[in-house]
Amino acid sequence: MFQVQIVFVTQSLICHLTVGGNMTAKKWVIGNWKLQGSLASNRGLIECIRARLPVLDERVGMAVSPVFPYLPQVADLIKGSGIDLGAQNLSEQVKGAYTGEVAGTMLKDVGVKFVIVGHSERRAYQGEDDELIARKVRSALDAGLVPVLCVGETRDEREAGETWAILLRQLNAVFDLIDSSKDDIVLAYEPRWAIGTGVSATPEMIADVHGFLRTYLVARHVEFGARTPILYGGSMNGANAATIAIIPDVDGGLIGSAALKADEFVSIYDALRAAA
């Protein structure tokens, strides 16, 4: 299996030289609020974003992902704004005796469009493995949601030269369960060593990984590879957004702490709009 993967990587990188630069996908800025928020702060944040962005650019979408209890409130706050609703997790189960779980159909029922799957924090703190994440992606798709699939390596894995092997392992587990000819996902690259640290990968690192990911998608299905947004999810903020937004194959950002500050979140959106 390892030999086969290395051959695939080599062929993919050659392929990327010829087709990678021609890929086009809608850009997205998706906020992940994590375990933060309140009725009052949610209202203030959304009202500020809407005041700064009364109309969204059709080339750049925006979504916000609060914790489960606030989904109905935020759905109401963003109504008519063009902002989409995201969720931070879902169960791989549809229904049954699974205390504390939330099914994709339930998220869909309250207006959710996107759901984050495989975030580095869930891999690290909840022990979610590739197989579970793949089942969650399939469950999201079956419920009519768009999964935001997070992939990425740890610092130790990068320093050991294992980045490509880790990404392939994470991607292959998911793509064994989806149909690239019809399913829609969003892919987010999270260098796990950059999450919540304030340290972003260099433009060269981001370009290399996003190019690799685009090539993987195109190799799976050309049209799928063209339409699938690839977001950067490693401490993107108002200060570095303009630099990251112009990197080839970067179609937006999965934003953590900066998504809780209206000015920064809108600055990131404006940087993506300028690069669109």
Is the pLDDT score of 198 beyond 70?
Answer: no
* pTM for the model: 0.91
Class level of CATH domain 27-75+84-93+100-275: alpha beta
Please report, for the chain, the start and end positions of each structural domain, with discontinuous segments joined by +.
27-75+84-93+100-275
Instruction: Copy the structure tokens of residue 233.
Output: 């999810």
Helix (H, G, I), strand (E, B) or coil at 62: strand
Instruction: Copy the structure tokens of residue 45.
Output: 């944040």
Helix (H) or strand (E) holding 101: none
Instruction: Copy the structure tokens of residue 4.
Output: 């086969």
DSSP per-residue string spanning 194-254: GTTTSPPPPHHHHHHHHHHHHHHHHHH-HHHHHH--EEE-SS--TTTHHHHHTSTT--EEE
Which of 58-62, 195-199, 214-218 has the weakest average pLDDT?
Answer: 195-199
Instruction: Tell me the percentage of the chain whose pLDDT exceeds 90.
Output: 85
Dist CA 72 CA 92 (whole Å): 22
- Amino acid code (one letter) for 34: K
Reported as a pLDDT band with limits 50, 70 and 90, residue 197 is: low
Q: Which residues are catalytic?
A: 119, 190
Is the pLDDT score of 43 beyond 50?
Answer: yes
Is the pLDDT score of 10 beyond 70?
Answer: no
